[in-house]
Structures are given as structure tokens and as C-alpha cells.
Structure 1
């Protein structure tokens, strides 16, 4: 297992800022980029997450061991896939109509959002995590291992080594992990699913996952695309 020391976050919105804060608290070196100028992002970072380094996407990626995508889903194709070649990438994005617009203009039918993101970044190892819990909960409910108050996050991906790396990273960020090895299972965490918005302990989250009906939820998603 690789040693993760440097964390890169693409996206300086609410989720990106919270993830940067958690990573700093966990002892990582953190770089973060956003859609505005580096100077503008630096001012936000200095105020909200002092200690993080504001930079451009290329510098963030070049100087990080792991990359978190925390931008609106409709903007992931603004990133050159070559930039993330060979990188371990966490997809913390969700389709959300208020920010992303019409679903079929962002996503093709028949595949989950993470499968489509992975297909675009085909030379990266993509793992889905940090997307089903609200940013307030992420910020306020991180707990050390063994705490009876500790919550759990769902982690899934096709690359078992990458999933193991991310699961360990999630642990250091303050959360237990329920691990799957199929990126398509990311559908369990998409908006509208029982897991979306869930801030639960391990056993409670696992119970929802164990009883999740992917077929029925898939029909719901398909219906929304018509």
C-alpha cells in the first residue's frame, strides 16, 4: 500500500473546503484548486482552511499522491484526462439538477455517473467515496477510530488496490468504511437513493446497503431520464 502524504483537491466549493479541512486535521499536506483565479482561491483558503495551498489544477495534481474531485459533475470534462493519468482519484461528485442542469445533457443513460467519469479518466484508478454524506456532517462528525460516535462512508471501485488505498484514507479522515469492489455500485449513493444524505454508523449503513434494490432504483433513474 502506498503512503499518502499529499492530498490534492480539485474544487474549492463547500465539499472541497470541508475535505481540505479534514485532510489538514488528519496531518496531510493539502493543495486545492478552483474555478477562479489562484489569487481569489488563495483568499478563500486563507480564511476557511489556513494551511492548505491554493494552486492551479496542474500543480495540484503534480504534487499530490491522491486526487479528490469535488466539482459539479457537469464540469468533469473540463479537466484534461491526461492530467490525471496514473493517479489515484476519488470521485466525490454527484449529479444535482440545480447545478448540473438536465441529466441527459450530463450523463448517458444506462451507466452510473462514476462509470462515466471512470471511462473519461480511463488511465486513472477511480474510487467513489465522500459523496453520500452532507458536507456539514462530514465536517462535524469525523471521529477517531474506535469512537462509539463514528459514522461510516461507502467506498467502491473496480480496482481492489485503489479501493484499499481509499478505504485507508477514509479511515484517517475520521470515518469507518463499507467497501465494495464494483464501481457500478456507486448507484447506491446517487441522489434519490436511500443512502444519499445518510450520516449513519457502520451497522445502520450496512443494513441499508444490504437491503438496497438496485433494480428498482435503476428503474427510477431510467424513468427520470425519459
Structure 2
């Protein structure tokens, strides 16, 4: 896809990440539709502030060039039928992460399968992985213009070149430096528990953090973070800790 401007984008999921994506991508000039499982009338008005439109899930994937999935990982298999008739050249970007305490245990991932490759199997099509390695509050508040000092970087993983190209461009449009983190096979380096996960690193710092990741250590760190967050915050279905607290916790546990 040579032109990544003024794209037609459908977002499924209007939680903390999905809502921010709708706002930022519409503000950047893209034609954005956003849907959730409860119906368009339940989507919060601030998600639509810059021109995104609330639609049904079926409408969200019609006639778009990009579909962004921003729902819990364990619900992704239910999206497969919705994507069955979506053209193969449509870019699908997944923002999810695996947390057993929320998603229930997934045997293949527990046995070591990379989360993104499990998602590919469930959907039956290639994806890009992006926006999964930044906290919801940081994503909503800390985006800046290109070239700003200490601009936060977000890793992007993909196997198809078109998927990578589009995801990198859209990350930039949301106010963050995009970094090509390689293939989906290596996307575990941006999963929960990794040094690059929700630690708000710059483009100069991120590559080393991805290299430092040790796969066998990720689950323990991920589960420690989940235990701390669910003990501290009452509503575990809508965790959105402030950027300062979550950043300190992520850096303490993951780096």
C-alpha cells in the first residue's frame, strides 16, 4: 500500500485503547469507523469527537483498508467469522495482550506459542502487532509531534511488508515514533513482562530493550504485574492506572 494517508479504517473495540485510536486516527485525517459488541449507541461521545463514526461490528469491516482489533485476546476467535469475507489485502492490526487472569489460560500460549502467532491461527489471516506495548493512559495523553524531544516509541511486528508499512505509518499518526520490531515470531519481545512493554522508551532506547528480553522470564513478570494491579484497582475489567504509577511498576518489574 503505497499511500498511507486518508485510509478507511474500521476499529473493533471501544475500550481505552480503541477509543484513543478512534480519536487520534480521525484527527490525523483518516476515515474511521468504530464498533463494539454492545452496539453503536453505547460508544462514548469522546471517541467520536474528531469525526469517527459509531457503527455495528459488521459495518466496521465493510469497505475498509485497515481493520484494528482492540478487544481482549480471548475474544479474538469470535472475530474470525466477521473477517472471513474481508479481502486478503486488507491490513489487520491486533493490539491485544495475553493475561491469564483475564483471558483464562490458553494452553498453546502457556506451552510457549507466541501470542501473535496464536492470533494468526485463530483469525486465519496475517496480522500486524502494534499499540500493545504502551499503557492506556500514556497512549491517551503522551503522544507528541514528530521530532519532539523524548518522544515515546512503539514497536510494530508483522510478516507481510504491506502490514508492516501501514502499521508503522499509523503509529506515527497517533503521536509516537514507530519502530520496526521484525516478524511476528519475534513479537514476544513486546509482550507483557518484556523490557519494552509499557516502559515508555524513546526510539534510541527501544531497540536495546527488545534485545534484552528473555522469553522464559516474561510470564512470571506479567503475572506479578497483574496481581499488583488487581489488588490495587477495584475494577479489573477496565484497568487504566495513571501513567506515572503504571510506568514505575512496569519499569520496576520488566527492566
Pair in the same fold by TM > 0.5: yes
Q: How does 1:135-214 map to 2 (within 5 A)?
A: 135-214=136-215
Q: What is the alpha-carbon distance in structure 2 between the residues aligned to residue 103 and residue 212 of structure 1?
A: 22
Sort the Cα spacing of 1:63 and 1:15 in 2 relative to 1 into closer, same or farther, 3 A: same
Using the size of structure 2 for normalisation, the TM-score is 0.77
| Residue equivalent to 2:227 | none
Q: What is the alpha-carbon distance in structure 2 between the residues aligned to residue 93 and residue 219 of structure 1?
A: 16
Q: How does 1:90-129 map to 2 (within 5 A)?
A: 90-104=93-107, 107=109, 109-123=111-125, 125-129=126-130
Q: What is the alpha-carbon distance in structure 2 between the residues aligned to residue 47 and residue 207 of structure 1?
A: 36
Which consecutive aligned stretches of 4+ in structure 1 deviate over 3 angstroms post-superposition? 216-221
Using the size of structure 1 for normalisation, the TM-score is 0.86
Alignment of 1:49 with 2:45, yes or no, is no
Deviation track 1:173-213 (CA, whole Å, cap 9, x = no partner) reads 22112213310211112212222212111111122113223
> How far is 1:29 from its partner?
1.6
> How far is 1:84 from its partner?
4.0
- Give the aligned length: 217
**1:58–1:83 CA contact under 8 A, matched in 2:** no
**2:156–2:167 CA contact under 8 A, matched in 1:** yes
RMSD of equivalent CA atoms: 2.4
Sort the Cα spacing of 1:47 and 1:171 in 2 relative to 1 into closer, same or farther, 3 A: closer
Alignment of 1:32 with 2:34, yes or no, is yes
> How far is 1:94 from its partner?
0.5
Q: What is the alpha-carbon distance in structure 1 between the residues aligned to residue 26 and residue 71 of structure 2?
A: 19
Moved more, 182-191 or 205-214: 205-214
**1:10–1:34 CA contact under 8 A, matched in 2:** yes
SS where residue 62 of structure 1 aligns? Answer: coil
